[in-house]
Structure 1
């Protein structure tokens, strides 16, 4: 089932996509402040219920060097234990790639977990969960790039988390006083569907960084509504 959903994405409401893309564009601008970051991609996932089953679903296309990229990947479903986003979903913490002295050291630790051309893989990953009022994961910001140790910088991660808290405050206020023709229609929690799992050994949790959290938003499903 999960494999079929991955290959056959299901639509995400345009309003939900537009709700997160400007924020991701701001994160992208911050990350590129000091120049080009090779292979940088940023997107957002949400926790969804499909026929009673719980998955993570890609909310929008990637923001990449070429602009908005990978529209065909919008709506893909992932098991809730899928790699770094699954690890972030599982314990509600920020996850990233550890610091390595060089690329060879990173690849040496990856060889047992990943087959194929390791140079084709990103060398830095980041996953930031957005928690709901009951500490459930509502959204997960995902980013990767080919610059070694890019997300191993605590200050960089803390700034993205601070920006994410601002997004939480915005949507909490919109939950109380929504736009006339826009609503966040609730999603019920599904029974979590797991897959092969497999967070790479090069990734680490950051329990000292408090993830962003909503006080009013339990799920993320913005759609146009009758005024």
Structure 2
């Protein structure tokens, strides 16, 4: 990441590098597991853990870099602790609005806007963000709280993820037909193959979102420091063992 004079000190600059590495690996491994895990029930929590943390980190860095570009300093701790917290939905909405608002600053606006429109119009993404937000806030303890006879009022994040799957099915007649065919097939491998294809659709939604955030950075929408950061956080920088897995 190139040196930039923007109000961040050296300690903060190195912290950003460490967080960037952590984020892209969490997202890379999470998406790899989502696409390749054999059984959803045994991998649900590892996948939701990696993706919820990775998505939250990417959001906080993106919004933080924008704050640096506009205010000359990293957001105060109170912003992270009291405003953003672990609310992925709120941060996602804010970031999409920020990218749209700062689009005129892009070095090549048309390149960014075409991909931004795909993300904005993705009907599955909001449901995925809601599931990850629920899991990251306190849904990861959903059954633990049931065990303590103190059930949560919010929905089971696993059920929320299933709703994202249902949206993908409702909007894709071909996938729905595959689901019906697989459901009636006695060979479990047929249904497993369908599940892999469906989860790959969800992974693609998250990956497109990751791509637009990195692209916004590279094109200067997230400020001068965001240009180098966008190149560092993109999925091509994830380890080869994941990209080729």
Assess same fold via TM > 0.5. Answer: no
For normalisation by structure 1, the TM-score amounts to: 0.26
Instruction: Please state which structure has a larger fraction of its residues in helix.
Output: 2
Normalization by structure 2: what TM-score? 0.24
Q: Which of these two proteins has the greater Rg computed from alpha carbons? A: 2
